[in-house]
Structure 1
Amino acid sequence: MLTEGSWWSLLPSLLAIVFAILTRRVILALLGGVILANILYTAPDLLAAIVASITALGSALIDLGNIQIWAFTLIIGALFGVLEGGGTFQHFVRALEKRQLGDSPRKARLFTWLLGIAVFIESNVSIMTSGTTSRPLYDRLGESREKLAYIIDSTCAPICILIPLNAWGAFNLGLISAQDIANPLATFAQSLLFNFYAILAILLALFVAWTGWSIGPMRQADAAARQRVHNIRAQAAPLDAIQYDSLAAKGVLASLVSMVVMVPVMLTVTGGGNIVRGAGTTSVLVAVSVALVIALGFTRKTQALPWSEITKHALRGARAILPLAVILWLAMVLGDMTRALGTADFITGLIDDSFPLWLLLPIIFILSALTAFAIGSSWGTFAIMLPLAIPLALNLGLPPAPFIAAAISGGIFGDHASPISDTTILASLAAGTEHIDHVRTQLPYALLAAAGTVVLYTLWGLV
């Protein structure tokens, strides 16, 4: 492998990202990136590259942890298929409107934002809960699903890092504790105050939720959503003409609440009484499975549908999600390959203590963002950047908390901006929007928050 740790290692990710944005063929783009990564890894043996690509794809597909992720993804699709196709979501929307929680676009957006903030135990559950709960409201009110995807993506991961009573906190605290820091917990807590990107992303999402502000491609998405709901209303009976069933609405609520409640319960069980040591993927899988069972039961009881019809709705929902599951699979393989090629080592190798002190925090933020953008993983970026940023601060005699925050902030931003990020893919899945449409419409907001973050880190360095 001649490309290890060189700029050539960036090519697979860049190919996948650029091709996906230009052609909107995300699956082909990711598959091309995987093949190119293996060509670079095994060069000049092309036959070995083909075999390695097939092996990598097959290994990821049958990995036990990944199988749980595929199951979680398909069950979420089945859950939404049952709730939407079975008709119970209509009654849930009516219930929200009766309580004036979803009777205007602004209230619907604020409802989404609050849900994203409230469910901070696990980011995937937060994304899926906020997305699946809010989607019928947005469709009803003519709000774009792209805006829904942006709001859930910009609240769920940032709040998990700012309120780290979850696996995010345990993971980063473990990385920080491995460094030569006297009080890792206090230092980590102090770093939260400097996590400027997460703070700005949440505040910007709140501003968008309150005002409905749209920039760039989001304007076109909003216009298309308004036209779509106008056409639907012209052809369909109004929602208030449907006989309201409070038990059906309670069934949807029970299903969604169970998904939220079961995660910390299962984290505690799988962690032997310690929630931060629990098995996150297993916990999420059990939670969505319980939610699906509850949804099936309430749909059967309230909608008088035969089990065969309910099963069809579940299968249709899972099938609709399948393309995103494939995207997630390919993105994971590409992320593994970019790490094997030394992409992160090349990016992080660009920094040393020769930089002007006031530039160090912005540079760490940018390098961390580039790393996360290239490998599609915020957690992978934390594991790479924190062991670089903390010793750099200690060697220079500077407080490590801002350096920790800059590395984490960059990882969150890069993860938001990257089309191959699992969080971005799940936000598209939860909102029911095309993945590249979500990436394109979210990027201007993410860049705006990132620009503000760079300014704040620069000013802090100058002080």
Structure 2
Amino acid sequence: MEYGLWSILPPLVAIFLAITTKQVFISLILGIFSGTLILNDWQLFVSINATLEEIVLVFSEGWITKTIIFSFLVGGLITVISASGGVQGFINYLTEKKDLVKDKKGALLLAYITGLVIFIESSITSLVAGTVARPLTDKYNVSREKLAYVCDSTSAPVCGLIPLNGWGAMLMGVIGVQIANGVVDGTAAGLLVRSLPFQFYSIIAIIAVGYYIMTGNDWGPMKKAEKRASEKGLLLREGATPMVSEEATATPPKEGVTPNMWNMILPLLILILMMPISLYITGDGNILQGSGSTSVFWAVITSVTFAGFLYVLGGIMSLKEYIDYVYQGIGAIVPVAILLITAFAIGNVIGYLETGQYMAALVEGRVSGAFGPAMIFLMASLMAFSTGTSWGTFGIMMPIGIQMAVAMGAPLYPTIGAVVSGGIMGDHCSPISDTTIISSMASASDHIDHVNTQLPYALLNGAFALVLYLAAGFIF
């Protein structure tokens, strides 16, 4: 059955409400409800029941359930690592090596490198990079805005490009819905890996941060902030209100624990190494054919189990304390898991209504499929800017983007990359983004000052990415 113009109602409802209310969960629920209304001929009570059933049906797919469990356990792992003193130990190790940092450039490079190597979760990336580098950037009169920019622009881009984390699980999940619905063929892991070179904004953003650190060629509001800090020693603008990092940090170390960076490094190494091993095993020797959901599931269970043995047998905490910290972390991740569930559900509803095919039909014969990646990049960027969430953007835009790519004949891998890059680009520009807020906290910067100084850089990077998506559309 063709639903025509009605097929675009659910994503429009979700996007409009997310923009106006800033409540992504409620917006997604109402987006799902509007879709079930259409599917059930506008029968109110039938549609209410169908909405609830659609959410429950998400768990009928084993790979989705594994992805959600992964998200819960990653929350537990992050909390127990923090409680073990692992994060604090890593911070202490880097800050004690002050002889390695002798100037402003070195202090910023410390934040930059930390942001590149800690890719387990974007918030943790920003918090660790800011906390590690801030004493040194303050010493060498680096503006807090510049530190916030480095933290922010090496968090989400790195997590997107190295998807051995919750980001990878989320993206493989929303891609997997389209595979399960028969829109595209292949495996979620394979499609995601092949799209990584087309995450143009993320790649440009990381390169740009390194360029500004090495050359000092800042411009716009950032140049003024750096001039203020270097000439007057004012790390913050007069009258600015710093956001204190302690408000955003993870669980503090357990009382009496001696901070040790290996308590963080070893469990994370196990998590990271288990990903390719699991993909190899589930893919019968071919990593790209492996099951992404099973791999992240195995990896996080192995890492959490290893951490338990490491901390309990090492006398860092009792078994009860370890379990309590894991539960605490699982509880903290509930909002993310709810977002995942509703994102999967609205992806299914959008698939039933064939929203992407309808949108592609609107431009078919009028707009070449070669423009598909650029169009999707702009749409995802606008949505992420308006809502402040890249993950919510992925949940809505990935099914639309993939369906449009198939219907328009647009290149698939650049389109998937455009969804991810657009979500991250809009997130970097948005004052209501959680990663933007956390980066302000980690650097103790005034939040609006961080947004104002980063925005021109993000827009320029986005313009370069848009040109590349236009080129990719015609070349691939």
TM-score scaled by structure 1? Answer: 0.67
Name the residue aligned to 1:395.
none
Q: In 1, distance between residues paired with 2:200 and 2:248?
A: 42
Q: In 1, distance between residues paired with 2:464 and 2:296?
A: 34
1:413 counterpart = 2:411: no
Name the residue aligned to 1:396.
none
AA aligned to 1:376 is: G
> 1:19: Cα distance to partner?
2.4
Name the residue aligned to 1:200.
204
**Which consecutive residues of structure 2, in runs of 5 or more, have no partner in the other structure?**
135-143, 164-170, 186-192, 226-235, 384-392, 428-432, 442-446
1:138 counterpart = 2:162: no
- Residues 388 and 264 of structure 1, relative CA distance in 2, 3 Å threshold: same
Name the residue aligned to 1:185.
none
Matches within 5 A, 1:138-157: 138-139=130-131, 148=151, 150-157=153-160
- Residues 231 and 446 of structure 1, relative CA distance in 2, 3 Å threshold: closer
**Equivalent position to 1:106, from 105, 108, 111:** 108
- Residues 193 and 245 of structure 1, relative CA distance in 2, 3 Å threshold: closer
Asked if 2 retains the 8 angstrom alpha-carbon contact of 1:266 and 1:283, the reply is yes
> 1:27: Cα distance to partner?
2.0
Q: In 2, distance between residues paired with 1:54 and 1:232?
A: 34
> 1:285: Cα distance to partner?
1.3
> 1:138: Cα distance to partner?
2.6
TM-score scaled by structure 2? Answer: 0.66
What percentage of residue pairs aligned between the two structures are identical? 23
Q: In 2, distance between residues paired with 1:79 and 1:204?
A: 32
> 1:74: Cα distance to partner?
0.8
Q: In 2, distance between residues paired with 1:13 and 1:68?
A: 26
1:333 counterpart = 2:336: no
> 1:293: Cα distance to partner?
2.0
Name the residue aligned to 2:244.
228
Name the residue aligned to 1:365.
374
**Equivalent position to 2:45, from 38, 44, 47:** 47
Asked if 1 retains the 8 angstrom alpha-carbon contact of 2:343 and 2:396, the reply is no
Asked if 2 retains the 8 angstrom alpha-carbon contact of 1:71 and 1:285, the reply is yes
**Equivalent position to 2:355, from 335, 343, 353:** 343
**Which consecutive residues of structure 1, in runs of 5 or more, have no partner in the other structure?**
117-125, 161-166, 179-187, 393-402, 420-424
SS of 1:349's equivalent in the other structure is helix
- Residues 194 and 62 of structure 1, relative CA distance in 2, 3 Å threshold: closer
Q: In 2, distance between residues paired with 1:65 and 1:432?
A: 35
> 1:259: Cα distance to partner?
0.9
1:62-109 CA distances to partner (integer Å, 9 max, x unpaired)?
Answer: 432121112101111111111112333211221233446899862454
Matches within 5 A, 1:31-180: 31-99=29-97, 106-115=108-117, 126-128=119-121, 132=124, 135-139=127-131, 148=151, 150-158=153-161
AA aligned to 1:154 is: P
Asked if 1 retains the 8 angstrom alpha-carbon contact of 2:108 and 2:133, the reply is no
Name the residue aligned to 1:23.
21
AA aligned to 2:244 is: R
1:156-191 CA distances to partner (integer Å, 9 max, x unpaired)?
Answer: 43467xxxxxx98xx99x99x98xxxxxxxxx99x9
- Residues 448 and 432 of structure 1, relative CA distance in 2, 3 Å threshold: closer
SS of 2:296's equivalent in the other structure is helix
> 1:454: Cα distance to partner?
3.3
Name the residue aligned to 1:278.
290
Asked if 2 retains the 8 angstrom alpha-carbon contact of 1:81 and 1:317, the reply is yes
Asked if 2 retains the 8 angstrom alpha-carbon contact of 1:93 and 1:102, the reply is no
> 1:384: Cα distance to partner?
3.0
1:41-79 CA distances to partner (integer Å, 9 max, x unpaired)?
Answer: 222222221121111011113432121112101111111
Q: In 2, distance between residues paired with 1:46 and 1:69?
A: 32
